[in-house]
């Protein structure tokens, strides 16, 4: 047994309390940030919160340090994002891979599925396929299992793999026949996979043990379903201007009564100061991003969605000397009031502007098709190729779904 001492040097990413506060404040939309600040004002006596001309002070100088309010024990509920970040902190992995993982978990939807495609992540972060593969291998080990899946099929297979189940027939069943299982079209599956109905039912029992939505039971910070624009972009005298809606967020100051009291807590005061600095940093980061966006996507704001230019997070990050993950947090779940309507900031980032033209052509093809014999995705792929756009059939399917068009069979007249 070796009891010798060894020195080992390694890089670890440790998220301090200040870093967590900064990251959370940056990524919160205004409506959610307002709620967060209100909760902090209740639990932290050093914070004074101001709504326009009205001040709410949660600290009563008449209370001694031995007197407490039940509200003193209210805590900010840990979210799924917090939980995932905490798990990453304990893993000894290269900082580059860990940063990719942080980017991924900050781009999950309310189900825990990827909100951004893997190819987009690769382009946005300027990483290679091996680095992307390593990051996702780590993501797939995080609890809850299934996080980071691209779709339902992917989610189910990730969970099976984590249980060391790699049955090829079961995976074929998930990849190609989930809809047939739902419609109890067992005879087709029996013929295609050369298995019995009993086999299918056994597989179905196994599938039922899996979770289609990994985030169930977790707080995912999606309580606010209403949209409040972070800023307004206008055309004035032929030029684009923007103004951040500062009125949405209450002002935070240090409570002087508490600060000068004999029982002021240093940690409470430090946290209050940190929050104030983070709010200012959030405002400045958003301002800098919008300043660039009205230049880089000028044609969109004047002419509409068909005039979006290719733009990735790296372009903005390089201009502002920030990391791509910082830009991703800053624009997450945030909206703008623009001459083209209310839009998400994220929609202004597009890896390839050709996708907009392809979607427009796809929309035209479907709208003008013979409803008695609608176009298949394969046929649309061929038509696009004739127009000079070499696109995979699966990409056409993805765009069709994004545009809200049903499958060929469902679009056929007489089929609901």
**Domains of the chain by start residue, with CATH:** 80-209 (1.10.10.1330), 231-348 (no CATH), 353-403 (1.10.10)
- Chain-centroid distance of CA 335 in Å reads 14
Nearest to 58 by CA among 277, 272, 248: 272
Q: Which tokens sit at 196?
A: 């019995």
Contacts 24+ apart (CB under 8 A), 199-203: 199/169, 200/173, 203/167, 203/169, 203/170, 203/173
Q: What is the pLDDT of residues 152-206, one digit of tens each?
A: 888 889 988 888 888 888 888 888 888 787 778 888 888 888 888 888 888 888 8
Q: Which tokens sit at 64?
A: 């001694």
Average pLDDT over residues 131-149: 89
pLDDT value at 399 more than 80? yes
Average pLDDT over residues 287-301: 94
- Cis peptide bond prior to 197, omega within 30° of 0: no
What does each C-alpha distance from 229 to 132, 153, 226 come to in angstroms? 33, 34, 10
Q: What is the rounded distance in angstroms from the CA atom of residue 233 to the CA atom of residue 131?
A: 38
Q: What is the rounded distance in angstroms from the CA atom of residue 95 to the CA atom of residue 329?
A: 18
- Residue reference for tokens 């993501």: 139
Residue 80 in contact with residue 220, Cβ under 8 Å?
yes
pLDDT of residue 226: 52
Question: CA end-to-end span of the chain, whole Å?
Answer: 71
Report helix, strand or coil for 148. coil
Q: Which helix (H) or strand (E) holds 251?
A: strand 251-254
Nearest to 29 by CA among 294, 336, 292: 336
- Pairing label, strands 231-236, 335-338: parallel
- DSSP state letter for 412: S
For residues 109, 112, 115, 118, the Cα torsion angle rounded to the nearest 10 degrees is 170
Report helix, strand or coil for 249. coil
Alpha-helix runs per DSSP H in 297-348: 298-303, 313-320, 324-331
Q: Which residues contact 303 (CB under 8 A, 6 or more apart)?
A: none
Residue 165 in contact with residue 122, Cβ under 8 Å?
no
pLDDT of residue 66: 43
pLDDT of residue 7: 62
Q: What is the rounded distance in angstroms from the CA atom of residue 24 to the CA atom of residue 81?
A: 10
Per-chain mean pLDDT for the chain: 81
Q: Which tokens sit at 32?
A: 């959610």
Q: For residue 114, report the phi and psi dihedrals to the nearest 5 degrees.
A: -65, 130
Q: What is the rounded distance in angstroms from the CA atom of residue 358 to the CA atom of residue 244?
A: 33
pLDDT value at 238 more than 50? yes
Q: What is the rounded distance in angstroms from the CA atom of residue 335 to the CA atom of residue 331?
A: 8
Nearest to 408 by CA among 399, 397, 392: 397
Q: What is the pLDDT of residues 5-43, one digit of tens each?
A: 556 555 555 567 788 888 889 988 888 888 888 888 888
Q: Which tokens sit at 164?
A: 């060391």
pLDDT of residue 282: 93
Q: What is the pLDDT of residues 319-370, one digit of tens each?
A: 999 988 899 889 988 888 899 888 889 889 876 667 777 888 888 899 888 8
pLDDT value at 74 more than 50? no
Q: For residue 338, report the phi and psi dihedrals to the nearest 5 degrees.
A: -125, 170
The DSSP result for 205-254, as a single string, is HHHTTS-S-TTTTS--S----S---SEEEEEETTEEEEEE-GGGS-EEEE
Report helix, strand or coil for 48. strand
Residue 156 in contact with residue 213, Cβ under 8 Å?
no
Q: What is the pLDDT of residues 35-61, one digit of tens each?
A: 888 888 888 888 988 875 433 334 333
Q: Whole-model pTM?
A: 0.51
The better pLDDT of the pair 310, 137 is held by 137
Nearest to 301 by CA among 247, 363, 236: 236
Q: What is the pLDDT of residues 76-107, one digit of tens each?
A: 455 778 788 878 877 788 888 888 888 888 88
Residue 310 in contact with residue 350, Cβ under 8 Å?
yes
What does each C-alpha distance from 187 to 120, 167, 178, 192 come to in angstroms? 39, 21, 14, 9
Q: Tally Cβ neighbours within 10 Å of residue 226.
A: 6
């Amino acid at each position: 047994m070796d009891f010798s001492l060894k020195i080992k040097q390694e890089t670890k990413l440790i998220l301090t309390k200040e870093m967590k506060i900064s990251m959370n404040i940056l990524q919160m939309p205004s409506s959610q940030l307002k709620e967060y600040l209100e909760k902090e004002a209740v639990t932290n006596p050093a914070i004074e919160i101001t709504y326009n001309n009205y001040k709410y002070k949660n600290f009563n100088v008449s209370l001694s340090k031995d007197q407490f309010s039940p509200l003193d024990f209210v805590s900010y509920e840990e979210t799924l994002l917090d939980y995932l970040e905490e798990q990453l902190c304990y893993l000894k992995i290269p900082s580059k891979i860990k940063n990719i993982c942080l980017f991924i978990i900050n781009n999950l939807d309310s189900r825990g599925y990827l909100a951004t495609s893997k190819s987009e992540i690769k382009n946005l972060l300027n990483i290679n396929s091996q680095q992307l593969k390593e990051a996702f291998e780590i993501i797939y080990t995080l609890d809850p299992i299934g996080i980071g899946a691209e779709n339902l099929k992917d989610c189910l297979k990730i969970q099976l793999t984590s249980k060391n189940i790699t049955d090829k027939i079961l995976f074929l069943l998930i990849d190609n026949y989930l809809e047939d299982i739902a419609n109890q079209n067992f005879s087709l599956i029996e013929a295609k996979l050369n298995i019995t109905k009993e086999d299918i039912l056994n597989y179905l029992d196994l599938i039922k043990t899996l979770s289609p939505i990994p985030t169930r039971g977790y707080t995912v910070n999606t309580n606010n379903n209403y949209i409040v624009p972070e800023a307004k972009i206008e055309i004035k005298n032929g030029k684009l201007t923007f103004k951040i809606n500062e009125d949405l967020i209450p002002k935070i100051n240090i409570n002087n009564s508490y600060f000068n009291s004999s029982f002021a807590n240093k940690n409470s005061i430090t946290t209050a100061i940190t929050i104030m600095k983070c709010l200012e940093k959030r405002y400045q980061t958003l301002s800098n991003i919008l300043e660039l966006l009205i230049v880089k996507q000028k044609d969109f704001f004047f002419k509409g969605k068909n005039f979006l230019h290719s733009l990735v997070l790296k372009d903005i990050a390089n201009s502002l000397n920030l990391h791509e993950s910082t830009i991703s947090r800053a624009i997450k779940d945030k909206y703008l009031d623009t001459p083209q309507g209310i839009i998400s900031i994220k929609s202004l980032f597009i890896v390839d502007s050709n996708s907009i033209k392809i979607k427009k052509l796809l929309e035209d093809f479907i709208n003008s098709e013979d409803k008695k014999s609608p176009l298949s995705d394969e046929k649309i792929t061929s038509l696009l190729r004739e127009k000079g756009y070499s696109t995979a059939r699966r990409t056409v399917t993805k765009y069709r779904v994004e545009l809200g068009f049903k499958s060929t069979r469902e679009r056929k007249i007489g089929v609901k």
